[in-house]
Chains A and B, each alone.
Chain A
């Protein structure tokens, strides 16, 4: 079967629908929508996505839909024929046609090869076992996600950019991840040794271990991978093994069709292969002896080729790319570009602040900036990269260069935005998306007055984000005072420009004592905030001033106002507290009576070892509470940002393996901490032995009893992203365990942002911060004292407060009931025509 040549358009066929394939089509359409009849062939059975963003997908920070760059709808809308899920068998350069694997023949006038690269697989014994994967496409990510669902151990061979991102993603998904690297520095092609060590440490804090100087010998296992054996004899257990040792240009079927191929498909400066009608772009290409594995060169190549093919600039040439790298691991700020390692005639300027984990190195040669490595603070990466590309002398600013753009320009008496204002219109602002200064300014003058709007309109700063500062400067110099820069951390919500930390600090330092005062002092832009900021402010105030501040129910989410969990049908569920998961005949009888009396449709045992009564009507809540109170039960706070439950096993009292009284300790923990409002819900557990039947290692605070005492674990989480706890410390007595638990809870209460569980909190601030904050007996005593002060006020049963003494509180019943058969004294009606 063949396709006919339609009308008299030139037929352009693109092989490869990855980042390069999608981009070249887009660049061509941008220049000339009419010129070609375009077909695109992609081996993956999906439209074009941003392969770089697979790391955040693996880590669970994004989903696939977020990373699609050119959807099927986009191709359809641009009348491009797509063949996804097909691969190319052969190219006939004489007949000018290609043959797909199912036999379909497609003729072309111009052919573009954008076939990308393949992951290199080490020829190790066992490489064909199940559970051995690469990290290249969506299929690999699927396999890895599935493997991670069962937890276990992941080994990643290769400590380069891709390997580290894979290991981090797997660690975030709850696996124990270890990176095996051949040499003694991680990412040695991008980092010097000092930055490599900092990276190693930062990764360790995020649950990624590194084994350096390690050569792999064999992959072990029967049918499925079980471990990796190293040359030195060590065996690293693994249920998943990821090979991330590098990529190799994909050159078939170019090679067998007779095109010149060395390491990659050889092209000239106009991206032309040895056949004048066949071009190539992206990772499959070898240009001036160089093969690239990063995105910036792909964009450069695509722009050049689109200029050449559409005739917009028939003399356009590609001369190679400067390379910059940014690691996509949350919270690890790392940037490297150019000749960071120095060399002959190079001079280094180095800045180190180990306390903050900041390391910066810039390399200067002949008064020009030629390379940089930034760790911990990489905001100036884009500025250095721009200086590097321009190649101008930096002799005048050398003194302050290492301190970054803001300091350098301030000391030179120059506003950074002035420098940007002086740029010519064709200066490239966003390298990822090829957006010039003129295009950004045009977008701003067309009415896009915020960073987000400029991003969605022009795409500038929408990919890697390193040009964000420049785009903000352009907003500032175009709009003047009308532009409010989004400085520092992300604002709490749209009502303010301040982030959570700033607001909390201001509350304490300026002694702000109620919500209107906070909004006034910090210049809220709305009269009474919104449903995001008001509950947060309410919490911050009650945490800062437990004795003075009066809790504001109107700023509380429905559950915390009605002291029960709202369900999808508007009814509520009620959970009485059962200390440590222990109950009695009296309590069970009272619960059974409530079930009968109020027609409770379902009783469910919760994951936290409590009983949950579902389907209770709002107006019945006070009476239900009164009945439960009468049997000695109090609110279980199953609805609150507060201590939920302390799950326990039976421990030494009954269990033949138990080492300590885990139930007793669980009850004590619950009695000490119940009622305390926190940034988010908080779950605890106590296991009586390392068999850990109470699952203490996925709790916010978990105790595992051992013969010699108590291991205290923190920051675990079940839920979407399972996170195993970090070991905080080990103590010998119950008293110490209680003291540590209260000190830890108070540190979390005082430091975490509202709605931040302990797991993301510890990931954000680092385990070391928590350990440092609890290090001395004095620190712990001070935290415990503040915690107990708050408990004096908040350790009260909200049910007892709201349960009816004689009749239900009015807010639990309707204002009026106008339904038939209901009479109300005050009801009067008057009739008049509607307006």
Chain B
């Protein structure tokens, strides 16, 4: 993101509200964002749209630091938003800055 833009750290809920290896959806004016929690309790947020056919990534299977889209099984990196494996280079989902403070999930929104 551009350093001139102010981002709002927005509290979207308690960290424990997202189960391990799962995701929850956050509705925003820019469209839905998916908040993920991995097996290792790392949290990530990306737009809830697969770059392939727009599938809801929040409904996929979380594995490692990746999410398998429920529609056609593309694997998307939660760190970069890039498609992985055989579909690498074919598309990218925008990521959203996220931090967990005092047990709360904060999303960095413009």
Contacts and interface: CB of A to CB of B under 8 A. Distances in A.
A4 B68 CA distance: 58
A264 interface: no
Contact of A831 (B6, B19, B29, B61): B6
B31 to A, nearest CB: 10
Nearest to A561: B59
Given A568-B53, A830-B9, A834-B1, A819 B28 contact: yes
A94 interface: no
Interface in B1-43: 1-3, 5-13, 17-22, 24-29, 32, 35, 38-40
Interface string B51-74: 001111001111110001011010
Given A554-B61, A834-B108, 6 more contacts: A530-B63, A534-B61, A558-B60, A811-B24, A822-B27, A829-B8
Contact of A834 (B24, B35, B97): B97
A534 B21 CA distance: 11
B23 to A, nearest CB: 9
A568 B105 CA distance: 30
Given A566-B70, A810-B17, A829-B11, A815 B63 contact: no
Interface in A559-594: 559, 561-562, 566, 568, 570
A554 B10 contact: no
Highest count of chain A CB atoms <10 Å: which of B32, B59, B105? B59
Interface string A813-835: 01111111010001111111111
26 contacts: A528-B62, A528-B63, A554-B21, A554-B61, A556-B61, A558-B59, A558-B60, A558-B70, A559-B70, A562-B59, A810-B17, A811-B19, A815-B12, A815-B18, A815-B26, A817-B26, A818-B10, A818-B27, A820-B29, A826-B104, A827-B10, A830-B9, A831-B9, A832-B6, A833-B3, A834-B97
Interface string B90-110: 000000010000001100110
A555 B2 CA distance: 38
Given A816-B27, A834-B108, A527 B40 contact: yes
B77 interface: no
A529 B39 CA distance: 11
B19 A554 contact: yes
A832 B106 CA distance: 12
A831 B8 contact: yes
A555 to B, nearest CB: 7
A834 B2 CA distance: 7
A819 B25 CA distance: 13
Nearest to A494: B85
A321 to B, nearest CB: 38
Given A531-B75, A834-B108, A827 B29 contact: no
Given A554-B19, A554-B62, A570 B56 contact: yes
B11 A570 contact: no
Given A528-B21, A554-B21, A558-B70, A570 B39 contact: no
A526 interface: yes
Nearest to A531: B68
B24 A815 contact: yes
A794 interface: no
Contact of B22 (A554, A562, A831): A554
A826 B35 contact: no
Contacts of A816: 12-13, 26-27
Contacts of A814: 24-27, 32
Nearest to A567: B71
A87 interface: no
Contact of A827 (B3, B11, B21, B40): B11
B37 to A, nearest CB: 10
A369 B57 CA distance: 60
B63 A534 contact: yes
A834 B63 contact: no
B27 A529 contact: no
Interface in A301-358: none
Contact of A819 (B7, B10, B27): B27
Contact of A829 (B1, B10, B63): B10
A568 B71 contact: yes
B61 A535 contact: yes
Nearest to B65: A527
A528 B13 contact: no
Contacts of B1: 834-835
Contacts of A831: 6-9
Contacts of B38: 528
A136 B71 CA distance: 39
Contacts of B10: 818, 827-829
A834 B11 contact: no
B67 to A, nearest CB: 9
Nearest to B25: A814
A404 B108 CA distance: 64
Nearest to A533: B63
B73 A531 contact: yes
B73 to A, nearest CB: 6
A569 B29 CA distance: 19
B16 to A, nearest CB: 11
CB-CB nearest 10 A-B residue pairs: A531-B68, A815-B24, A558-B70, A816-B12, A531-B61, A554-B21, A558-B59, A817-B27, A834-B7, A528-B39
Nearest to B62: A554
B12 A818 contact: yes
Contact of B60 (A528, A531, A815, A832): A531
Contact of A528 (B5, B7, B59, B64): B64
A346 B18 CA distance: 74
A834 B62 contact: no
B27 A833 contact: no
Interface in A611-650: none
A559 B32 CA distance: 20
A816 B70 CA distance: 22
A621 to B, nearest CB: 12
Given A531-B68, A810-B17, A833 B63 contact: no
A833 B108 CA distance: 10
Contacts of A554: 19-22, 61-62
B26 A557 contact: no
